[in-house]
Each structure stands twice: as C-alpha cells, then as structure tokens.
Structure 1
Amino acid sequence: MRIPILLLKTRSSPNDGYDEFFNANNYTPTFVPVLEHRFNDKNLVHVRSLFATGAFNASDNTNSISNPKTPSPKYGGMIFTSQRAVEGFANMISQHGLPPPSQDIPLYTVGPATARTLTTLRNAHLPSSTIHGADTGTGEKLAHLMLQHYNTLYTEEKENPTLLFLVGEQRRDIIPKTLMDPNLPHNMRIPVDELVVYETGEMGSFEGDFRRVVELAEGKGEGVTWVVVFSPSGCEAMLRVLELGPYAKDDGDGNGNVFVATIGPTTRDHLRGLGFEPHVCAEKPSPEGVGEGIKRFMEQRALN
C-alpha cells in the first residue's frame, strides 16, 4: 500500500524531483503550497538587458576564461540558490528570449533539486555553460566551492568579475559575506551583485488547505502519513493542525501515525524552538536525502 506524503511546497515546474522520487518509491505525494511567490518582472527584464548589452561578454568578444589576458566581462557568472529564482529566470526567457553571451559562464547552485531545474534551462538556452555546486547542500559550502573554482578562471586579473546572484527578498547573506570577506586577499575576493527577482509571503489559505489534505490522507497507507517541511514558514500552522508540540492535547502527543521530516537543520531548529522535535532531518536537502532519512526511521521503528 502506498504511503501518503505531504510536501509543504509548491510543485516545481516543469518537473519536480520530489514528485518523481516519491512516486517511484511507493508513496503518494501531495503538494500543499505554503508560500506565495510573486516574480519581480522589472528586475527579471533587467537581467535580460545585461545579456543584451554584453555585460556577460569579454570586451573583444573572446572567451576571457580560456584567454586570461583578454579584458574580463562585467559579470563572470550567476548564482542560483532557489528553484523560484531559476523559474523566474526561465519565465523571463520564455517571454523575451535571451541573447547568448559570447563566452561560457559558470552557473553556481546549491542542492540537486535546484540544479536539475537549472540544467533544463541551461540545456535549452546556455548550452555551453557549466553548473557547479549541486552537491554542496548549504550556502556556506557553495561559497567556499566558488572561492576555489572561480578564482581559477581569472588568474591574471587584479579583480574578479562580479557574480550576479538572483535572490528572493528574504535570504541569508552568507554567500556575499563569504565571497567578499575583507580578510581575503584582494585578488581572491569575488564581488557579488544581488538582484531580487521574486517576493515571498505565506499563503493565507495554507492552514485550511493543509487541514483538508490531512483529513483526506487519514486511513490510507496503513494509517501512516509523512509530512515534509521545507522552510520555517507555515510550521506553526502545521503543528496546530496536527496537534503536535505546544498544540498537543493533554492526554497525548498528537497523532501518533503522522511523522514529520525537515529538509535540513534550519527548519529542524525552528521547529525545536516551537517545542517540537521532528522525526527526521535530511542529511542532504534532496529527495534522496529525505527518502533515506524516512527509510532509516521506519526501519528503526519496526524494530522497537
């Protein structure tokens, strides 16, 4: 019997790695969007103008990576740390097209899910560009990878070309702070321009939507239901619906057949702060990482 798994996120387009993975592993995934994303069309069109005006091109239209003595471009690469940023970029391209740069540019990303979405876009519009960081898992690890990799591309430059970082309005600053650390040698620092391409807010309908989905899942999958949490947003509403943590009834700890997994330590720690210890914290923020954590938990539970 297939086990219901409720994914507290918007289904990624055109394909979603979590949907594919859990469907293939005897689960019935259901997406429950927590956040509302609104793309910043003005800033996304500005990204296109950077390509159109040659900001990613070396000044004499030759590849400055393969020829370090060639004057470098203003922007030497791009950073994506969320699927929403990739989707916003892809939507802009589908509406307005994308003038290809004259040189290959590195695309940096964190986590395999975002890398998969970015790969689809790269293959269609930037086929010569390379993707780095899919297995880093955190912004801090990605930043250190960039310091190692990017600094090998412009070894003759006094200052590295800037990286364009497409972000949401809510984001951590670990990547810019690490890359532009004043303690680094000047020629090893990597300038970063952050450009907000989407805004995020919690959906007002989330709690009611989640309650309906939980009720539909009851009685399926031998009574076991998994909930996967991807961000601190919506955590309190989730606990209320499931009667867990501070919302547990006096005579128990909520529904003993509902288990909660988090995509990583940030969300786990947020839930701990609310008074609830999630059953699983994925070691890697990926479908496989979540799946492996759930598998180990269920195997251990069967032994007890």
Structure 2
Amino acid sequence: MKTSLAFLVFSVTAFFSPLRAQASSKVKDGGPLPMFKLKNLLWLNLDLMNDLENYIKALDAKMKIIKEALFDMSSYHIKYEHAKESIIDSPVGSFSLIHHMQSDWTHWLVFLQEETGQDEMDSLLSKIRYLPTEQDVSSACQGISRITNAYDLSPEKISRGSFLGVQSKSLLSPRDFLQLADYSMANKDFEKSEQWLQVAISLLENPSYQKRILPLFRLNVVDLYLKLSEVYVKKQMWPRALEIVETALKFQTRNAALLQMQEHLSYQILLNPPSNATHNLRNGKHPLRRNGSLHCFYQHRGGFPSLFSTTLKAEILLVDPLTVFYHETPK
C-alpha cells in the first residue's frame, strides 16, 4: 500500500509541477488526482496502518490468554504425572476433572470461535470506499507516460528514482512496473510495455531485492516472462518471443501456458519465417528453409510430455488443417 501511494504521489506530483496552472481543468476532464486528495490518501494510509496494528494487538491479546491457559493446564498434568490414579480415586479430584472438562472446555470453544478484532476489521472495511479507483491508477500511469515521453526518460532511470537529475526517495516496485506495462500495452505502446516488463523482471531476478518483497505481494517472474513474450507477439517478433518463452521454461519446465505458447510460436515461425534465413531456437542455430509451398524445419520436442526427446526433422504437408510429417523418427 505504501509503495502504491508513493507511486501515485511521485507520478502525479511530477506531472503537475510544470502544469500547476492547468490543474483545475485536468481534474474536470478526469485527469490525475489533485494534490489535496493525494494528501488525504497519505492520511488514509496512516489510519489503515493504525487499524491493522490494533487488529494485531487484538490477536496478540487473545494469543496471550491461550498461552497462559495452556501453561496452567500443563502444570496440572505435570503435577500429577506420576500419580494420575490419585485424581481418579479422590472424590474431590474426580469432581474437579469432570467440571473442568464440561465447563472450561465449553467456554474455551466459545472463546476460540469469537471473531477477534472485529471492530478493527470493521474500521478497515469502512475505509475501502476512500481508496484510489482503477481510473485513478490509470490516470497516474498516464502521468508517468507523459513524463517519460516529454523528457525522454527511460524506464531504467525511473526504476532508479532518477528524475530530471533529481534522485527521488520514492522507488517503484515490480508490481508498479507491471501496472505501467499493462497500461502501455492497452494503449498499444508495445515498445514501452517491453521496457517496463524488462525492468520488473530485472528487479525480481535481483537477489538483494527479493529480501524486500513481502510474500503477499510477490510476483512470479515466469508470469512476467510470459507477458513479455505476448508483447513480442504483438510486435510480430516471433523468434524473440520464443527465446523469452524458452528462458521462462528453465524456471518451470511443465508450465502449461508456456508450453502452449512455445508450440504456437514454433508453428508461427514456421508459417511466417523471419526475413533472415537463420534464427536462434533453444540457444542453437537452426536453419529454416522455404521452397515454394514446402516448409522444412527442425523441431525440438524435449520440453513437451512427449515420446520424442530428440531433435526431429519435420515437414509441413498441409497448412489447414496443419499436417506435419516427421522424418527419421526414433524407433
């Protein structure tokens, strides 16, 4: 939450600084959030943090009661560890045991089923309507996009917090860069979407950065690789998209989405080969030849749950439906 707010403050503040005189008209047109709303968001963030802290305190108080009760019950059993029959033989001991089992544990079950921290949770839920909307996030993305275009800033510089020679204390997270990539892709700016995704991937693959990512908000780098391959597909860069997919398959060899994309790209390269006669597949040079309606290529099947585990000679006989003839298949 703090990172998202920092992202909004940084983007909108930077966007409005040179255009402060036009702020009112931008707001009317559904532009970025005005400064007073951003300040309210910062105060809201503090309120939410306090509610969350109070919720933790309520859980801790309940946990403390449980631990103290467990200690008392354990002490009781330790006391009579070697004389359990004395409890059964004694009328007083028998009564105490029966009453404890019937009454105490009934109350314990009621206590454990109580919704701890409900007041704090209600307070959190009551503030949801004040959180930024998807339109607000889109406006913030638009502000960042305008900044990078107007001042020719690269996503790499933004990731380092460098803005017009000034080092910002607010750094964006991989999730922020993913949001910017999605925004750019939705606006068909595939070049910028590619750059945002590359920055996000580089951060996720940086071991020193991994330590600062909360498990709740951790992204899967494989998902970003897949999204990056989709960007290259939009740019019709089939070999590059395939390289990205095969890099991701090193992390998850049986990822169904990656395997499906790999198969799709392999056939796409076959039917619509690049201008050069040779391209890189699986880190090796594999020729792709065209002779009229005849297409021949070498296909790897090692990444698929298939009987084929070697490089195969494949020849397309029919495009629709796709019919492939494999030469010299292993016996």
Q: Same fold, TM exceeding 0.5?
A: no
Q: More relative contact order in 1 or in 2 (CA 8 Å, sep 6+)? A: 1
Q: Which has the larger radius of gyration?
A: 2
- Larger % of helix: which? 2
Flag the structure with higher strand content: 1
Output the TM-score relative to the length of structure 2: 0.26
TM-score between the two structures when normalised by the length of structure 1: 0.27
